[in-house]
Chains A and B, each alone.
Chain A
């Protein structure tokens, strides 16, 4: 790779319809490309299968968050009201799973929600302030009404000319290089 400023990040191929994008994605998946992605203004239904993506792992983050929240709530209430400074109130037991349930339940949801949002951001490696694609002049349409497929030069199967021809043959209306 040359050290010049115009290092190529990948090839960007533009598509008009979700169906055309999906057909192309299925082909790329079957050809065994690794470092490539589809960009769309909304999540296209069925694209995960078309790209061969596995089920998202966000659920685990949320589950761990929720379990922590519930345990934290129960232990906190038991410790504050039954262990550290017990006070008799209304003849009720110092600790009861019933009256400790509502706050613990809320903490479950709170930490579960944090797990979902931050898990999503972590898995997506967001936030990031810079991305080569965001400089590309037509890429702004990816949030408007166009669909793009980007194959990175880092992909082991990437070959400058062959990949461009492939993308054109898959029905892209326009294939351009993206600078790093």
Chain B
């Protein structure tokens, strides 16, 4: 029998020791207590203030939509030649933000990044609400909203079917699938945690409602076995989904022939940008949450650092794509392409272009420094700037190209109206209203999953009760 050679195993020096995922060696029950506390305590004042503001803004959003519907798209700044203005910018921006949730829950799951457990629930909720905000824009943008059902695969009044050769139809399928699957994934993850809330509930109403949505979950291992498989499959399905959704959004632009839109790198570049902006928004939301809800031991500084690194990586990929676009515009020798990029940088919208470059390419490079990643306030500010930069990226893509088409006779200048601005701000109200309700009534952290990454949850670990030398012995 072969006895393997005994190898000397170096012990990691302290500066390279891995930081545990749950700080301060918290026990399993503490995790339930810490998360459920947020929903069980008396509603804090800050929550009411935040909710009041968000709710008001949401009403503004609805008022703007009502005004638009009753009057027409003329209330926006759209007009020949820029027929896609803020509405499409906001659509792409919000849907981009919605990519981090599924990325964290699916791709990081497949990559076995265990730190995802602390942030995936909030990120998935963010995804769903962001996609809701995104979905509003294309629908109200069609002008005659009562005909929006033409987007569905139904024959219209003349028995004509929708055209599946148009990327806009692909969008309908991509976004609605994305929304549905994100909700399914989110709900699947919520089932065991709703059971936690049910088991802790002290009032009849809570018992009934959490019990209803927990579907009678008992934590049976026979159930966990199917559950884990379903989770893995959903992760496997969501990974190509998350890549395809923003790829298809990018095809809205790229399959056209317009200079600045038609370029082959668009799909991966949009996906990287979406993940970039999504992580920016996750950081923007979670840094205050971990403070306000006392979750510093679950969402640790290590988690924030890791998210900064994802932001840095995707920001650099976006930078590469910007570089390639400019380079190939020059390389192609196509005068329209060349002009499109010259115009972006030095034309009437030069400020938007340079804000985009500064926020998306330059600023994330600060995340190379540990000192920056460790400073929560700085990370928060930078994450907001990431969001700003990504909004301007979409603005640059949509507006500069349309405002300067092939023929100078077709040129124009686009500016938003107050309705554009208020609708956009109003979607923040919608987003935060839902997010605050989520924070108040549902587990912000995936309780069962975080429990699973602690050492005391591991039957092979001494803290999990393993005997010396492993339990199989």
Direct A–B contact in the complex, CB atoms closer than 8 angstroms: yes
Question: Footprint of B on A, CB under 8 Å?
Answer: 16-23, 25, 37-48, 51, 53, 55-59, 62, 66, 73, 76-77, 80-81, 84-85, 87, 89-90, 92, 96, 99-100, 102-103, 105-107, 109-110, 112-114, 116-117, 119-121, 123-124, 126-131, 133-134, 139-145
Q: Let me know if A19 and B467 touch, CB within 8 A.
A: yes
Instruction: Kindly list chain A residues whose C-beta atoms are within 8 Å of the C-beta of B335.
Output: none
Instruction: Kindly list chain B residues whose C-beta atoms are within 8 Å of the C-beta of A109.
Output: 177, 181, 237-238, 240-241, 244
* Bound: A140/B423 CA distance, A: 46
Contact of A107 among B167, B177, B184, B467 (CB under 8 A): B177
- Residue among A96, A126, A130 facing the most chain B CB atoms (10 A cut-off): A126
* Bound: A25/B196 CA distance, A: 24
Q: Let me know if B163 and A22 touch, CB within 8 A.
A: no
Contact of A47 among B32, B164, B200, B224 (CB under 8 A): B224
**B225 at the A interface (CB under 8 A):** yes
Q: Let me know if A102 and B227 touch, CB within 8 A.
A: no
Q: Let me know if A143 and B174 touch, CB within 8 A.
A: no
Contact of B448 among A41, A106, A120 (CB under 8 A): A41
Given contacts A42-B448, A106-B174, contact A90 B226 (CB under 8 A): no
Q: Let me know if B219 and A113 touch, CB within 8 A.
A: no
Instruction: Kindly list chain A residues whose C-beta atoms are within 8 Å of the C-beta of B13.
Output: none
Q: Let me know if B226 and A40 touch, CB within 8 A.
A: no
* 6 closest A-B pairs by CB: A17-B465, A19-B465, A127-B215, A120-B230, A80-B161, A56-B229
Q: Give min CB distance, A144 to chain B, whole Å.
A: 5
Instruction: Kindly list chain A residues whose C-beta atoms are within 8 Å of the C-beta of B238.
Output: 109, 113
* Bound: A106/B169 CA distance, A: 11
Contact of A124 among B155, B223, B234, B458 (CB under 8 A): B223
Q: Give min CB distance, A17 to chain B, whole Å.
A: 3
Q: Chain B: which residue is nearest A37 at the CB level?
A: B220
**B306 at the A interface (CB under 8 A):** no
Q: Let me know if A126 and B216 touch, CB within 8 A.
A: yes
Give the total of B residues in contact with A, Cβ under 8 Å.
73
Contact of B173 among A99, A107, A128 (CB under 8 A): A107
The stretch that binds A, out of B55-63, B393-401, B449-457, is: B449-457
Q: Let me know if A113 and B244 touch, CB within 8 A.
A: no
Q: Let me know if B164 and A99 touch, CB within 8 A.
A: yes
Q: Let me know if B215 and A113 touch, CB within 8 A.
A: no
Given contacts A38-B220, A39-B219, A48-B225, contact A18 B459 (CB under 8 A): yes
Q: Let me know if A22 and B244 touch, CB within 8 A.
A: no
Given contacts A45-B458, A109-B181, A113-B181, contact A81 B196 (CB under 8 A): no
**B29 at the A interface (CB under 8 A):** yes
Q: Give min CB distance, A165 to chain B, whole Å.
A: 22
* Bound: A137/B448 CA distance, A: 21
Beyond the given pairs A42-B448, A81-B164, A85-B159, 8 more chain A to chain B contacts, judged by CB atoms under 8 angstroms and listed by A's residue number, are A44-B221, A44-B459, A46-B459, A102-B244, A117-B187, A127-B215, A129-B211, A143-B199
Q: Chain B: which residue is nearest A126 at the CB level?
A: B215
Instruction: Kindly list chain A residues whose C-beta atoms are within 8 Å of the C-beta of B244.
Output: 102, 105-106, 109
Given contacts A22-B459, A80-B162, A85-B160, contact A130 B216 (CB under 8 A): yes
Q: Chain B: which residue is nearest A133 at the CB level?
A: B218
Q: Give min CB distance, A123 to chain B, whole Å.
A: 5
Given contacts A43-B452, A102-B251, contact A58 B223 (CB under 8 A): no
The interface bits of chain B over 64-85 (1 if a CB of A lies within 8 angstroms of the residue's CB, else 0) are 0000000000000000000000
- Residue among A37, A48, A116 facing the most chain B CB atoms (10 A cut-off): A116
**B136 at the A interface (CB under 8 A):** no
Question: Footprint of A on B, CB under 8 Å?
Answer: 27-29, 32, 153, 155, 159-167, 169-170, 173-174, 177, 180-181, 184-185, 187-188, 192, 195-196, 198-200, 211-212, 215-230, 233-234, 237-238, 240-241, 244, 248, 251, 448-449, 451-452, 456-460, 464-467, 471
Q: Give min CB distance, A106 to chain B, whole Å.
A: 4
Contact of A134 among B162, B177, B218, B234 (CB under 8 A): B218
* Bound: A129/B198 CA distance, A: 12
A-B contacts, 17 of them at CB < 8 A, read A16-B465, A41-B451, A43-B227, A53-B225, A62-B230, A77-B164, A84-B161, A103-B169, A106-B173, A106-B177, A113-B237, A116-B230, A117-B188, A119-B226, A134-B218, A143-B32, A143-B196
Q: Chain B: which residue is nearest A117 at the CB level?
A: B184
Q: Let me know if A47 and B240 touch, CB within 8 A.
A: no
Q: Let me know if B234 and A129 touch, CB within 8 A.
A: no
Q: Let me know if B216 and A56 touch, CB within 8 A.
A: no
Given contacts A40-B224, A103-B173, contact A140 B200 (CB under 8 A): yes
Q: Let me know if A114 and B184 touch, CB within 8 A.
A: yes
Q: Chain A: which residue is nearest B255 at the CB level?
A: A99
Instruction: Kindly list chain A residues whose C-beta atoms are within 8 Å of the C-beta of B221.
Output: 25, 37-40, 43-44, 47-48, 51, 53
Instruction: Kindly list chain A residues whose C-beta atoms are within 8 Å of the C-beta of B29.
Output: 144-145
Q: Chain A: which residue is nearest B172 at the CB level?
A: A103
Q: Give min CB distance, B101 to chain A, whole Å.
A: 15
Q: Give min CB distance, B150 to chain A, whole Å.
A: 13
Instruction: Kindly list chain B residues whose C-beta atoms are within 8 Å of the C-beta of A46.
Output: 459-460
Q: Let me know if B174 and A18 touch, CB within 8 A.
A: no
Q: Let me know if B160 and A87 touch, CB within 8 A.
A: yes
Instruction: Kindly list chain A residues whose C-beta atoms are within 8 Å of the C-beta of B159.
Output: 85
* Bound: A66/B241 CA distance, A: 13
* Bound: A89/B459 CA distance, A: 62
Q: Give min CB distance, B13 to chain A, whole Å.
A: 29
- Residue among A18, A57, A66 facing the most chain B CB atoms (10 A cut-off): A18
Q: Chain B: which residue is nearest A103 at the CB level?
A: B173
- Residue among B29, B225, B244, B458 facing the most chain A CB atoms (10 A cut-off): B225
